[in-house]
Amino acid sequence: MTYSLAVDIGASSGRLMLGYIEDGTLQLQEIHRFENKLIELNGHFCWDIDKLFEEIKAGIKKCHDVGLTPTSIGIDTWAVDFVLLDENNDRITDAVAYRDPRTDGIMEEVFDIIMKERLYLETGIQFQKFNTIYQLYALKKHQPDVLKKAKRFLMIPDYLHFLLTGKVTNEYTNATSTQLVNAFTKKWDKDILEKLDLNPNMFGSMNMPKTVVGPLRKELEEEFGFTMDVILPATHDTGSAVIAVPEMDDTIYISSGTWSLIGVENHFPICVTKALDYNFTNEGGLEHRFRFLKNIMGLWMIQEVRRNYNNSYSFAELVELSLQANDFHSTVNVDDERFLKPDNMIEEIQAYCKDTNQAVPETPGEIAKCVYDSLVNSYVQAIAEIEDIFEKSFSKINVIGGGSQNEQLNQLIANATKKSVFAGPIEATAIGNIVTQLMALNEIKSIEEARALIKQSFEVKQYSAKG
């Protein structure tokens, strides 16, 4: 039996999932789950990357404890964040998080150097103030000595793969999120790097998903009692998640988690003016496909609401309370920067409603309904923009990821769009990670075969418009 181990780390939690094919279906077994959260370090909001690696090691050891030895392992995480290494491959920066305010005002400074339209024409990437390009320019502005010492640039999963193998790699799908990769050559854009005076030698050659990086470092092999190959999945978690959409024909997907990523799969980048105006992104995918999508704030808002209520309500209870607030109709723009990292999400939602002369939500049910209705409004707008760009109507929406378990939100999407909504698979990112490894191991022959396997292996619920 060939076992592949997916390490899937999101903004709020991580998990290690073991996957294997048995009796014609893909089987998943959760090995280890852990919390991930921001910490304050050296004046910035950061990821505790050392703790994340310890959790990965703990999960690997649990595989051995239950008598299941993986053949391979691959890691995916969120996008845009990175670390820098010096000439000895020692880390010289903290893993500063995209929600840190160090990039405030930086995007506009970069536009003074490179025209916004030129950046989009070359990279096809959505403009967000926390993109890697702006993080690096902020570092250049505020800590130029650190940037001068840097010899290698690694995104978060690249660095975790380095800790496992001792080998330095840059994986393509996550690299595209930096806004430093040319959408057409699929390589680092040297012209952009030159204009921003960023050392091009920091950025290594591009490695595609399914690349076998190599075995574990000897000391880790001894620590675990076995070895396995590290195989690159689509290390951008959305890149892995989209692989797990069972059917792409006539389908808009929503990868629903801390962020909502809504879009379609394409075989070429769309870097036209209308896509720029709508602020869509062209992120690289498996086998040179593109994820033409828009980032929407997502369930981060309800996660923060729950935290502000001291976790007194479960997510299911907040859904139930929202149903009881059926007569409340105020909404917010979920992509307003005020919701990126507010001191208190509830108060920020209330302030937005007050500022826009709407009824102010007071109860937990009204707050939750405001969030869900606002998300749906944003989805409806993004879908209209996709259909405008492609000059066609899509009949299906497939919600994947943890957010696909929110039946109320799924029904609201169906009601608002009048389209068939399919929900699942839930563990889409881990599934996409695993099938990519299995393709590299020749257990699965193609992405089409992988999607057929996924379709027959996992439950997908359907929702139709009501009312």
Measured at the CA of 209, the angle between CA 183 and CA 11, to 5 degrees, comes to 85
Say how many Å lie between the first and final Cα of the chain, rounded.
49
Contact 191, 130 (CB under 8 A): no
The phi-psi region of residue 421 (left if phi > 0; otherwise alpha if psi is between -120 and 50; otherwise beta) is beta
E strand or H helix that includes residue 131: none
Give CA–CA dist 261/242, Å, rounded.
Answer: 10
Catalytic residue among 100, 189, 237, 373, which? 237
The counts of H helices and E strands in the chain are 18, 20
Give CA–CA dist 349/361, Å, rounded.
Answer: 8
Contact 98, 135 (CB under 8 A): yes
Contact 412, 208 (CB under 8 A): no
Give CA–CA dist 375/52, Å, rounded.
Answer: 30
48 carries an active-site annotation: no
Q: Which of 375, 169, 99, 361 is nearest to 257 (CA)?
A: 375
Q: Which of 253, 231, 249 is nearest to 241 (CA)?
A: 253
- 3-state DSSP call for residue 414? helix
- For residue 365, the tally of other CB atoms under 10 A from its CB is 21
**Could you say which DSSP state residue 363 is in?**
S
Give CA–CA dist 381/457, Å, rounded.
Answer: 32
Measured at the CA of 428, the angle between CA 425 and CA 434, to 5 degrees, comes to 125
Q: Which ranges constitute the DSSP H helices of 88-217?
A: 106-113, 116-123, 132-142, 144-149, 156-165, 172-175, 190-195
Give CA–CA dist 458/182, Å, rounded.
Answer: 36
Give CA–CA dist 438/428, Å, rounded.
Answer: 15
Pairing type for strands 229-231 and 281-284 reads unpaired
Q: 259 vs 58, 129, 220, 301, CA distance in Å?
A: 27, 15, 34, 9
Give the residue numbers annotated as catalytic, written as ranges: 237
